[in-house]
A and B are shown apart, each in its own frame.
Chain A
Amino acid sequence: MAHEAYETHDYDIIVIGAGGSGLRAAVEASSVPGVKVAVITKSLLGKAHTVMAEGGVAASFGNLDAPDGWETHFYDTMRSGHFINDYRMVEIFAKEAPDRVLELETWGAVFDRTREGRIMQRPFGAHSFRRLCHIGDHTGLELIRTMQYKALHSGIDVFQEVTMTKLLVKNGRVAGAFGYFREDGRFVLFRARAVVLATGGWGKIFKVTSNSWESTGDGAALAFRAGAKLKDMEMVQFHPTGMVWPPGVRGILVTEGVRGEGGLLYNSEGERFMQKYDPERMELSSRDVVARSIFKEVQAGRGTPHGGAWLDISHKGPEYVKAKLPGMYEQFLTLADLDITRERFEVAPTCHYTMGGLQVDPETCATNLPGLYAAGEVACGLHGANRLGGNSLSDLLVFGRRAGLGARQYLEGADDFAPVDEAELNAEMDRVLEPFGREGGVNPYKVHERLQEIMTNHAGIMRSGPVLEEGLSKLLALKDEASRMSIQGSRMYNPGWHAVFDVENMLLLCEGIIRSALERKESRGAHWRTDYPDELPEWQTINFVERFDGEKIQIDTEPVLSMPETLAKLFTYGKAPGLVTERGAEA
């Protein structure tokens, strides 16, 4: 048994994860004097995956298209989520997004402007109006940097490069988290009266992914083991346009902003193939549709040399492209020797976002585990079966704030810190150190590679029952093998060691994904099954919810809450509410 000393820190609220939602939660939680808040991140501050968001933050200001409003944003989000979203989350989201964006402006974000001097908004896939507030193609960077400086000036303590390995639960309540500093491997206990998880998604389960190394689903897995419920795990988004060539850059995101700014998709025969799949919205159809269309074109032998589609923005002229898409221009020039202002380029679907995650209460972001809150990609409910571009950044702000608020309100009824269970912590230290002692075990990097291979071949963009079943048995075999992961070297900044826990978390969540994907016997949004190719009305009324007892994952169905009449009515006009002219008279 390890009976090592460990550091202890006490906080009213700890926020795990320092992306957009974590920082927004921390800022909100600390906005009342006397509430002690810490943010814990496994990276450096300001490097979280939020930084990768490019196209913009969706909020229905209507700066360019006056008829836009929260109802149309609500309508677009529900429709693109194929109606398994939590309608109340969507309602809150659509109503609050503009205020959250203006807050950013107050804190220093400088968005592109319209001629009238207001925040510029660009069109994006399946948004009825021009809605995405942006700064060139680095909106995520703007959001995180703004929130980072706001957090640094809000009296919040930040613990950087800490791996959390266990969420502590006492008397049915969350009591804190345990883990180690990556710098030197020393253990650390955070005792807390409430915990906000803002750890993002698990896009690293696929090899071709736009996600950074961090997206290994740590928070979801930690909470799942501690008794929290996961919902809609089968829903994984593939972004239609990732880079394809050269091999090292495969999967890196090409912002939807390229299509938003007028980029056109062609197959190898020079055909604008979106005409066949969504003649109305064409390139600006929803992501699930565009990704599937590219996939189908490649399958039919009409792919580009390296298996993708052509994307072309060169007709907009070099000046325009460089002004609106400077990051894309630079990215292709340095990594692919290609000038997108002059040439078309290859794109193909890349894993981008996990719609599934911790089930939360829409008002407070509370999970089913008392004291545990979740916001951002780790949480579930807003996006349903398919996320709209630009909705993620506003999600982080709206629900980050609500999670911080929810956790702070929870403190009023929360007892003091739970006593430390030394035996539990000793056992955890043993578990965490075990890979050092194993001789000749498997390399965690290799396990990760095989996990990605299984998910790509068995649970990717195109799924079917038998293929999923086979994937599940391969995954379970790999899980067994992974219990013998071993590592070399010391505890000092050892990426191989860190990878062990990333891989364990991903293995658990992948099992959840495959099991849920097997249960949903239809095609809906991002979940496409060739053995059940149609979207079926009877499946629109249920979500799959999973629990983990430490051994087995149990799946149940829960009903999708039905909308009140005032909201349901928004879907009866046959077009977006903002486009309905006669509504004024009716109201």
Chain B
Amino acid sequence: MSTDVTLKVWRGDKTGGETVEYHVPQETGMVVLDALHYIQHNEAPDLAVRWNCKAAHCGSCGAEVNGQPKLLCKTRLDDYAGQPVEVRPMQTFPVIKDLVTDVSWNYEVAKKIPMLAPTVPAPFNMQQIDADRVQEFHRCIECFLCQDTCHVLRNHEGQQQYFGPRFMIKIAEFEMHPMDGADRVPLLAQEAGVNMCNVTKCCTEVCPQHIRITDNAIIPLKERVADRYYDPVKILLRRLSGKKDQTAKPNTTVAT
């Protein structure tokens, strides 16, 4: 009763590569990562693929299955019954080898986001309804699939203008924390480049944790920037009071 599945796996490194075809006996409920493990154990022990938990908790195994950003441990082979299955590395990041890419840029960005700055000492008194708003963002497993699919970041220069959806929700997590006293709006307006996002919601679609990245994080953050920098009443008040604009002009370059 066992049937074979055919996988085409991209193999190569930064100098180039090609897809290689493998045949794997299919088991009930098998995921793409199971098939790759079978290949490693039986045919190609040097096949490079990142994975850790195999339970969709750690976000290590992001790659593209038939062109769609997916967690390999959560993508069932029977979803592709009768179709060829092609596995490629994430396209937004430079490839290291096979399905493994260099995601170090993300960790550099992470350093630029100021941490929570509590206005009161712990233990905090906070209602669940206040926690709910930010807890959604805490579900992020940093698989970087949203970064992979973001068309701003896919464009190489985009990475210099925009932190990407992952870090919009990281900023939102702190900005919307009821006890936070820091101000990340200038960062959002400038270096983090929230205005670069033109709300196509591709990131929300690929999020394996179902975080409503665009609606619940990016749009409210855009509103904070607009409120600060573009509210005509506030601009007038600032002029009248003789206060200078607190910051330089926000980054408003439009992505192409």
Residues of chain B with a CB closer than 8 A to A150's CB: 115
List A residues 25-70 near B (Cβ within 8 Å).
43-49, 51-52, 61
Cβ–Cβ < 8 Å partners of B48 in chain A:
492-495
A 481-510 to B, binary, CB cutoff 8 A, 1 in contact else 0: 000000111101111110100000000000
- Whether B122 pairs with A152 at a CB distance below 8 angstroms is no
* Interface-side segment among A331-339, A382-390, A455-463: A331-339
Residue tally, chain B, CB below 8 Å to A: 63
- Does A444 have its Cβ within 8 Å of any Cβ on chain B? yes
Contact B46 A46 (CB under 8 A): no
State whether A493 touches B128 (Cβ < 8 A): no
Complexed CA–CA distance, A236 and B56 (Å): 25
The A/B interface has a contact count, at CB < 8 Å, of 183
Contact A51 B58 (CB under 8 A): yes
How far apart are the CA atoms of A248 and B141 in the complex, in Å?
A: 21
Q: Within the complex, what minimum Cβ distance (angstroms) separates A23 from chain B?
A: 14
Of the candidate stretches A107-115, A295-303, A406-414, the one touching chain B is A107-115
Q: Are B55 and A253 in contact (CB under 8 A)?
A: yes
Expressed in whole angstroms, the Cα–Cα distance for A110 and B135 within the complex equals 7
Q: Cα distance A493–B74 when bound, in Å? A: 23
Specify the chain B residue showing the minimal Cβ separation from A215: B52
Inter-subunit contact B51/A213 (CB<8 Å)? yes
Alpha-carbon distance between A150 and B47 when the two chains are bound, in angstroms: 34
- The segment out of A133-141, A271-279, A392-400 that lies at the interface is A133-141
The answer for the CA separation of A99 and B96 in the assembled complex, in Å, is 42
**Residue of B41, B46, B96, B107 ringed by the most chain A CB atoms within 10 A:** B46
The smallest C-beta distance from A494 to any residue of chain B, in angstroms, reads 5
A118 touches B55 (CB 8 A): no
Question: B116 near A108 (CB under 8 angstroms)?
Answer: yes
Question: A158 in the interface, Cβ–Cβ < 8 Å?
Answer: yes
Which of chain B's residues have a CB closer than 8 A to the CB of A10?
Answer: none
* A246 touching B30, Cβ below 8 Å: yes
Interface string of A102-131 (1 = CB under 8 A from B): 110111111111001111100000000000
Contacts of A145 in B (CB 8 A): 138, 140, 142
A240-271 contacts to B (CB < 8 Å): 245-249, 252-253
Asked if B134 and A110 sit within 8 Å, CB to CB, the answer is yes
Is B172 engaged at the interface, CB distance under 8 Å to the other chain?
A: no
Contact partners of B134 in chain A: CB under 8 A:
110
Instruction: Please tell me if the beta carbons of A44 and B50 are within 8 angstroms of each other in the complex.
Output: yes
Which residues of chain B (155-189) have a CB below 8 Å from chain A? 173-174, 177
Q: Contact check, A497 vs B131: say whether CB atoms are below 8 A apart.
A: no
Given known pairs A110-B131, A160-B104, A335-B74, the reply for A47 and B45 (CB within 8 Å) is no
CA distance A444 to B40 in the complex (A): 11
Docked-complex contact B60 and A47, CB < 8 angstroms: yes
State which residues 105-162 of B face A: CB under 8 Å: 107, 110-111, 113, 115-116, 118, 121-128, 130-131, 134-135, 138-142
Contact A108 to B124, CB < 8 A, known contacts A52-B57, A334-B74, A487-B45: no
Q: Tell which of A103, A116, A141, A183 has the most Cβ of chain B within 10 Å.
A: A141
- List A426-456 residues whose CB lies under 8 Å from chain B: 443-446, 449
Instruction: Mark interface residues in B1-40 (1 if CB within 8 Å of A CB, else 0).
Output: 0000000000001000000000000011111001000001
Q: A117-B126, A160-B104, A246-B30 are in contact. Are A112 and B131 (CB under 8 A)?
A: yes
Contact A331 B56 (CB under 8 A): yes
**Which one of A110, A153, A247, A492 contacts B97 once the chains associate, using CB atoms below 8 Å?**
A492
Tell me, rounded to whole Å, the shortest Cβ–Cβ distance linking A162 to chain B. Answer: 13
- Give the distance to chain A from B147, nearest Cβ to Cβ, in Å: 14
B103 within 8 A of A: yes
Q: Are A449 and B41 in contact (CB under 8 A)?
A: yes
Chain A residue numbers with a CB within 8 Å of B28 are 245-247
How long is the Cα–Cα vector from A44 to B61 in the complex, in angstroms?
11
Tell whether A152 pairs with B107 under 8 Å between CB atoms, given A118-B123, A246-B29, A488-B46.
yes
* Least CB distance, A101 to chain B, in whole angstroms: 9
CA A446 to CA B210, docked complex, whole Å: 37
Residues of the B chain whose Cβ atoms lie less than 8 Å from the Cβ of A118: 123, 125
Q: Cα distance A113–B104 when bound, in Å?
A: 35
State A444–B42 Cα separation when bound (angstroms): 11
In the complex, whether B100 has a CB less than 8 A from a CB of chain A is yes
Tell me, yes or no, whether A370 is within 8 Å of chain B by CB. no
Q: In the bound complex, do residue A492 and residue B13 qualify as a contact, i.e. CB atoms below 8 Å apart?
A: yes
Check A152/B111 contact, CB under 8 A, given A106-B116, A336-B29, A494-B48: yes
Q: Is the CB–CB distance between A489 and B45 below 8 Å?
A: yes
In this complex, what residue of B is CB-closest to A103? Answer: B122
The reply on B76 being an interface residue by CB < 8 A is yes
Tell whether A47 pairs with B31 under 8 Å between CB atoms, given A145-B138, A158-B107.
no
Q: Which 4 A-B pairs have the closest CB atoms?
A: A246-B29, A496-B45, A489-B46, A108-B116
B residues near A (Cβ < 8 Å) are 13, 27-31, 34, 40-41, 44-60, 74, 76, 96-98, 100, 102-104, 107, 110-111, 113, 115-116, 118, 121-128, 130-131, 134-135, 138-142, 173-174, 177, 210
30 sample A-B contacts, Cβ–Cβ < 8 Å, listed by A number: A43-B52, A44-B50, A45-B107, A47-B59, A48-B52, A103-B122, A106-B116, A106-B118, A106-B121, A110-B135, A112-B131, A113-B126, A142-B138, A149-B113, A152-B110, A183-B96, A212-B54, A213-B51, A245-B28, A246-B29, A247-B27, A248-B27, A248-B34, A331-B56, A489-B46, A492-B13, A493-B100, A496-B40, A497-B46, A499-B45
Known: A113-B127, A213-B51, A331-B56. 13 other contacts (CB 8 A): A102-B123, A105-B122, A106-B122, A141-B138, A152-B110, A158-B107, A212-B54, A214-B52, A247-B28, A247-B29, A252-B55, A494-B46, A496-B40
Q: List chain A positions with a Cβ less than 8 A from chain B.
A: 43-49, 51-52, 61, 102-103, 105-113, 116-120, 135-136, 138, 140-142, 145, 149-150, 152-153, 158, 160, 183, 212-214, 245-249, 252-253, 326-327, 330-331, 334-337, 443-446, 449, 487-490, 492-497, 499
